[in-house]
Structure 1
Amino acid sequence: MSTEQLGDMRTEYSKALVAVGEEDPNIVVLGADTTDSLKTANFGKKFPKRFFNVGIAEANLVSVAAGLAYSGKTAFASTYAIFLPGRCVDQIRNAIAYPSPGDKNGLNVKLVVSHAGLSVGADGGSHQQIEDIAIMRAIPNMKVLVPADSVTVSKLTWTIAQQYGPFYMRMARSKTPIIHSDSQEFQIGKGITLRDGSDCTIAACGITVKIALDAAELLQQEGISCRVIDCFSVKPIDKELLEKAARETGSIVTCEEHNVMAGFGSRVSEVVSESYPVPIRRIGVQDKFGESARDNEIPQLFEKHGITSINIAKTVKEVRGQKQ
């Protein structure tokens, strides 16, 4: 029987919001008719005058958050990833990222979403947000975070509450394996080396970090030593750590629960190609939409898209053969 400990990102986000709200009276929280699902309603119970549910109106959610931030508040706006940024890129760009009062870059709005990637499940391709990293990282002043587990969500909620500027953080719907200890520190713009290795680097973000660790374990049994990096900070990304990995391991495999077009793997490729080019292979959704899958079928959906430890291990072997 597995003793793997699981954590719920939405629960930890909710707890952290209440905690930061107790510390900072300028924290306000907004939702768009998904406050029970995202559990942000708990903040509203504690601080009803600082909680706003705008209903099914995501563009308005963003605009109201921008107005509150412009008046001096730190605004957390949350709903499902398919709706934010899906329905309101214009408002995010022009109402949050573009306005830069004084010497500041953007407004102090934190866009925190749930139900990202393929693991949404039965709602299918229309609700599986696999383009958001690409969209949000292309917007100036916007920082993009993709936590691997509930510990990361809790720590990053505190961090972004205390750091000025617009942030986008995507969470998974289902409970996920806990990767990090409570003592782990998280710094925006820095990655975390979870496992050292010399033959290849596996760089991952979000729930695929656990898959990357499982792949490294499989490869170790064959005598192949893999470094595993959690790149929870996609923008800004840890260029120094990635260049070091490229120099020391000679090849990189990336993994993400997102379209490989302009996503996390593309960002890694951009960084490495400009600093120390090595063979890179990107694992993720191969420029196609997802499809409906019940919770117990999610592993099959991931397998169909190659987001598995077995496929990572296979790809590592292939990319190592391309090393100079």
Structure 2
Amino acid sequence: MKPIIGITMGDAAGIGPEIIVKALGYKELYETCKPLVFGDAKMLERVVPIVGSSATIHAIQDPKDAKYEFGTIDCIHLDLLPADLPFGEVNAKAGDAAFQFLAKAIEFAKEKKINSICTAPLNKEALHLGGHMYPGHTEILAKLTDTEDFSMMLTTPNLRVIHLTTHIGLIDAINSITPERTYTVVKLAHDTLKNAGFENPRVAVCGINPHAGENGLFGYGEEEEKLEPGIKKAQDEGINVTGPLPADTLFFRAGRGDFDIVVACYHDQGHAPIKVMGIEDGVNITVGLKGGIIRTSVDHGTAFDIAGKNIAGEKSMIAAINSAIELAPKF
């Protein structure tokens, strides 16, 4: 059965409406999923001629009323925006609407009316002006799903990476790694791929130090203290996990197919290989959300400077939708 992918419009004053309409102009997507936009049908109708599309916008309130036919864009229509919302400007109504689009998608995901969520970008300033004081999508998703243990996953066509730590300094990142965190992220990686249909996901964990410490030659025993107990716990539960392994060769091995996913210890250890191997096809994914909800995202912002001008490319949106299809829980 084709998964239903809920695509949230994000900030409608940005490029979200354009890249959604452009992406849904590819018939191939309709052969692998049922795309369902959460947003404002009026905005989609405005951008259809801007991007030169011939699509028809189908405003609905429930997924069961969708057509899921190429040439028709089904939209869960939340009538929250003025018809003349200006492109490229920070707007409180657009910020509030971006929150509401996502909240509705989360509600439907919890009810298993959709299989996964793919988000167009929102604007943090507009979000705050709209009364929602969150740093971004991830924190909204965590709050509305009552989730504490989650992680960032990045993917390209040939590599998947999940992180123990992300946006903190290197010293703080190493200090914050614990056996418990290692176990949690390994299990998140395993469970995410298992739910997506991988029979026996192959997980590999990077070492913290060069050569994964090389038996104490480098570092101060961080691998033995922070990584190995968590890995051992996962192995004892039957998870197919290997490591810690030297990061300088692990990503090559994963790229050629030896492993299904790599656990990176800190931001640049995981981000750099992803961006080298496919920055234009990179997708940001939130995993570990309660209920098995998967969220994928484009790897760019709202681009207010080019919004409404038919300049924005849809490649990242297509990649994000494809990742949402690949990782969509089966139910």
Structure holding more helix per residue: 2
Q: TM-score, normalised by structure 1?
A: 0.31
Q: Larger relative contact order (C-alpha < 8 A, sep ≥ 6)?
A: 2
Larger radius of gyration: 2
Q: TM-score, normalised by structure 2?
A: 0.30
